[in-house]
Structure 1
């Protein structure tokens, strides 16, 4: 959320409400204030900052090569240093991330997704025109960063929460309930909530731990309102619940009255004048109705639907324990959905707890509401020859839905409602959700119950979990590898196999690039990644052989395309292909992708050196690699590496970046994010 024009007004027109503060000194003062007469230090007295994680992503992600997906190890280093700066000052951090999109804000979510789509298109056009990564003005966060950052912070020992309603509301509620030192974020809604101090992450200097505090009381003094009147001001200016357009006539009248009644108008820009004009209107409404106790003054000229909308918007700012909340705020609480009846109370409780603790994502929304969404990814909507990732992972998601909803049944005669998917991809106007039906995993007989899979402890249940995981990716053949290779490598192998089977335009070089990431990068430090050489060859070849065999059983033969054909770029007639129509009527169209558009392939020098290194080791004989066998990769018995694997035509450094795998991520992200 955010109040239209309020942040600008405070920064440009209300300097007295923008106070530079030192967080170390604030922490010392907080401890002194809360420890008077207290002999112990715990979370009730520790200086705590509640951090809006979503607002911090752009400030945390400072890696230079962001187009290909980014450097996960380098990003982890940034997070670690950032956290240590606060902990060294004795400041406890509590992070919150968005966990759901409330339906009352769905249209605003759609509007933002369309805007970001335009920004992504500009980025791709720049790269195709100039052959290089664009500058900061076209920066886009790597896909999936918001989904994986909570896991990264938890691995650093931080307390992380995922919201079950609007994250801003939960942040403000937590800060108020626990007497937190402040809220660190970048959202003007934190001025409207009557909660802890609002501290700017955009103006944070991590080296000195100084930033700007937006002073709620000083703002109220400047604009002539009380804190309890701020929610109405926010809704009249426009926010995620009440759009600018819906209250435009109120603001026009307020501005006209302001110009008449203020012979010397405020010297600020029109945005600043609008805040003052609406503030004067709100103040005058209460002056005329001192006895008014409702959320919306009766004298405000509104239609019945607009009055109800405004009430809902004002209620969204009322935190637990505040007046007027008891009146009719129950409408803001989520009601039971048709999906909850398919799950036991134990499952529902565990699902919510895991979601809130940031131990998973997507499952909570599916189980409780039957809905899920995926924000923008870095995909070129003008490239009609690669399926969008939303459609690539759709069969995988359908099996996940089947695992969740078809438990205890064979799936053949169960009439279940479809999952509503709001996924951003080329050709999807986002006017309504895609209705996606669950698909059974293919267990012999009935699927095991979800309660058994989640809470069972026997070895048989562990085997069922593994079978379920492999079945989701259609990689049952890899069961023999469990325990023989690291779990992270097995997960990567399943993911790459799934992608190769789904996307027919991927080549042998693409496969090599994906697998080499998983094998070579997982144990490298950020410093080592700056000067990486090709290594771990035997393990790489072992995994590639397994993957190739699995694909062959499904009649999927990978072709090598080491060089791009030399002909000019051709534009598909008719512009962007509608992927929904293609999926429904034409299936996958297999084309050469960007290779057929004449784009030259460039191999970096370190890859050339890596190939020479393999040859110098004596591993290349008779056109085949003969590496030493890897001790942890076997077929249920001694590994036989005497049979030479298929000849490699050279690893491909080019990365499509379309399916959440990138050259420098240490572990591939999960599907459907």
Structure 2
């Protein structure tokens, strides 16, 4: 998270400490240095250690982010990024945050609540304008950090997930392995005595040019010794010592600086603050005082503040380092002890830790070692009263994962502990964690042990792994499909069925949108997906997209807990989800599009879709879940524009859903003639029913007559049939031109029960 304002200060006030560097030339110099220094343990291959979490915003440059992520395109961008370095002979090693340490929990909470405010603005913008907001409100797609580590591993890269403070592990690894630099965006790397720190934000990938932040240059400018930088960092505020806790020291330092020093070219008031603190650090205490401890005795501090400062300074000392010769400094330990060891065998804990470090697992390490699971922000509309937050939708699933990991059927009387959940969702203030009880699930016979699931072999154990995985999602019926359909479609089927069972407000159209986009994804290249043009953005579809991607991470967690009956690669979003494609299918499904059109007129896709759809409906019937057709007409002010009457299209003008058929008004003449010869063509009304809308305008001249007519035909419109059985409904236009500028007026009668979100136009945060 870095030192408050230090990097900005270097950019604005200390240009001599910011060097433009050519990474290719750095690599050549690194190789030459290694050849001349035969005693070094450095790898002669030039290696960059990459702070993965800091790079996510720079890697995800896809235009779409609000719909849930363009994962195929993102994979292409990652591959291009990696290739730029490897083709220059530079090896990459990636680190991702694997834990949130308790000492940083409050800082984590502050950031999550701040992002919640941005998400609130995102949904307000979508509902007001029907489009994605600009980059000022950019939010990373859900699960990006989790899935990126797997993506990089699939590209053959070395990836680590941390078990303590990520910056500390990165700096330690880079120093121990003699790497040529650290690529990231965190000013803590200026403070560590490690290897050169390089900016990913200023990286020009085409030429491999970036900025190196020179800690020696900074020290010369501030007139400090390198060993004094950790003290300065703690006074400014960092992850260990909050900015507020040292405010009184900064105030005193500023007052003294104004009295004793003439104005200096610091650029900003923040620059003056850093200069004032640098003066304080260099002046307090003599050498003997410094050697007696990390914080000079002449600095007046309470015992609590002094202890906190010393802890913060120690956090910058890498293994084997010391600040001052002869000072006895106890080692800094940021990793926490295993709190679940009395419930888990040592062999399980060892394998769990190894898989976590190698970025091969998800969720399991947090449960088994710390009894804590966290989840960052998700694009969820806090004004949406119909859809549950993802944290609550997937809690029953997590309860079973915890039960699989922690429950033991061995007569042990020790009560299984609760798991602390730090999940961000609307209404959760994050003042304390949610305490969740592990729930055992029922399998024929006794619950299998982790030892059997993780270390066992043979067909029987394979069957137990699959049964355990499916039971987490209450989808035991799907075991017969294992091996008959691809694992990615089995995973999609489990996830969609689980969502439908948990979210009672989900409709048949929602389910069909999920399944159709997963089935059709492979028909589209990432360029075709990128070029899909949506007529407008639906806030409900945005939330459903994020809900699906969060579900993929739960599939991954359940798979890890059950001993990996499915390959992890099958659970990755680039195999089953694209945000823009899902959005297009959602809009089409809710406009009554026929299945053939919804499945891009592809026979194999249609067949697979109908199979998966039937399986979902069968489970719903067994669980007494009535999955009804509830098409959702466009109801927001932004949808009154002419653009909203058009269907989603590819960049070349083809309508999404007609991969080879021109547009939804019937396709090109050539395609229509071919279909007529095959006996398969049926004339269709264009998506959005534009012709029907124009006809309606001539038939109904005023609002009263229109309302009267619509009231007579109310039984024909979308909704539930009297039998309660799902039905496929034709699309009936709910909007007719009424404004002089051609905009459409919503004339839908108010439903008896709320459909969609409840609006609070006067609500304030």
Kept in 2: contact 1:520–1:534 (CA 8 A): no
- Equivalent position of 2:609 in the other structure: 540
Kept in 2: contact 1:24–1:89 (CA 8 A): yes
Helix, strand or coil for the counterpart of 2:251?
helix
Kindly report which structure 2 residues correspond to 1:259-658, keeping only aligned pairs within 5 A, or say none: 259-287=258-286, 289=288, 292-323=291-322, 327=328, 329-330=330-331, 332-409=333-410, 415-522=415-522, 524-529=524-529, 530=531, 533=600, 535=602, 536-564=605-633, 603-605=647-649, 606-607=655-656, 609=658, 616=675, 648-649=728-729
Name the CA distance, whole Å, in 2 between partners of 1:407 and 1:292.
53
Helix, strand or coil for the counterpart of 1:421?
strand
Distance change in 2, residues 1:288/1:318 (3 Å): closer
Distance change in 2, residues 1:609/1:90 (3 Å): closer
Kept in 2: contact 1:519–1:540 (CA 8 A): yes
How far off is 1:562 after superposition?
2.4
Distance change in 2, residues 1:327/1:496 (3 Å): farther
Helix, strand or coil for the counterpart of 1:199?
strand
User: Where does structure 2 lack aligned partners over 5 or more consecutive residues?
Assistant: 533-580, 582-599, 650-654, 685-724, 732-765
Distance change in 2, residues 1:512/1:424 (3 Å): same
Kept in 2: contact 1:562–1:650 (CA 8 A): no
User: Where does structure 1 lack aligned partners over 5 or more consecutive residues?
Assistant: 570-593, 624-644, 652-673
Distance change in 2, residues 1:618/1:452 (3 Å): farther
Kindly report which structure 2 residues correspond to 1:214-233, keeping only aligned pairs within 5 A, or say none: 214-233=213-232
How far off is 1:266 after superposition?
3.5
Distance change in 2, residues 1:21/1:37 (3 Å): closer
Name the CA distance, whole Å, in 1 between partners of 2:301 and 2:32.
49
Kept in 2: contact 1:49–1:181 (CA 8 A): yes
Helix, strand or coil for the counterpart of 2:284?
helix
Helix, strand or coil for the counterpart of 1:187?
coil
- Equivalent position of 1:57 in the other structure: 56
Distance change in 2, residues 1:68/1:602 (3 Å): farther
**TM norm structure 1:** 0.84
How far off is 1:22 after superposition?
0.2
Kept in 2: contact 1:409–1:446 (CA 8 A): no
Kept in 1: contact 2:285–2:297 (CA 8 A): no
- Equivalent position of 2:245 in the other structure: 246
Name the CA distance, whole Å, in 2 between partners of 1:504 and 1:375.
25
Q: Which range is displaced more, 607-616 or 443-452?
A: 607-616
Helix, strand or coil for the counterpart of 2:299?
coil
Kept in 2: contact 1:563–1:601 (CA 8 A): no
Helix, strand or coil for the counterpart of 2:36?
coil
Cα RMSD, aligned residues only: 2.8
Name the CA distance, whole Å, in 2 between partners of 1:619 and 1:470.
39
How far off is 1:36 after superposition?
2.6
How far off is 1:345 after superposition?
1.0
Name the CA distance, whole Å, in 2 between partners of 1:276 and 1:87.
41
How far off is 1:65 after superposition?
1.6
**TM norm structure 2:** 0.74
Kept in 2: contact 1:424–1:430 (CA 8 A): yes
Larger radius of gyration: 2
- Equivalent position of 1:581 in the other structure: none
Name the CA distance, whole Å, in 2 between partners of 1:346 and 1:242.
37
Kept in 2: contact 1:501–1:551 (CA 8 A): yes
Distance change in 2, residues 1:37/1:418 (3 Å): closer
Q: Which range is displaced more, 522-531 or 364-373?
A: 522-531
Kept in 2: contact 1:564–1:600 (CA 8 A): no
Name the CA distance, whole Å, in 2 between partners of 1:291 and 1:145.
45
Helix, strand or coil for the counterpart of 1:332?
coil
Kept in 2: contact 1:220–1:227 (CA 8 A): yes
Name the CA distance, whole Å, in 2 between partners of 1:43 and 1:539.
53
How far off is 1:564 after superposition?
2.2
How far off is 1:341 after superposition?
1.4
Kept in 2: contact 1:286–1:292 (CA 8 A): no
Q: Deviations over 1:72-122 (max 9, x none)?
A: 111001000000000011000000000000000000000000111111111
Name the CA distance, whole Å, in 2 between partners of 1:390 and 1:522.
29
Helix, strand or coil for the counterpart of 1:341?
coil
Name the CA distance, whole Å, in 1 between partners of 2:411 and 2:141.
39
How far off is 1:492 after superposition?
0.7
Q: Deviations over 1:254-301 (max 9, x none)?
A: 111111110224442011111111111011124474553421111111
Name the CA distance, whole Å, in 2 between partners of 1:471 and 1:214.
52
How far off is 1:37 after superposition?
6.8
Helix, strand or coil for the counterpart of 1:123?
helix
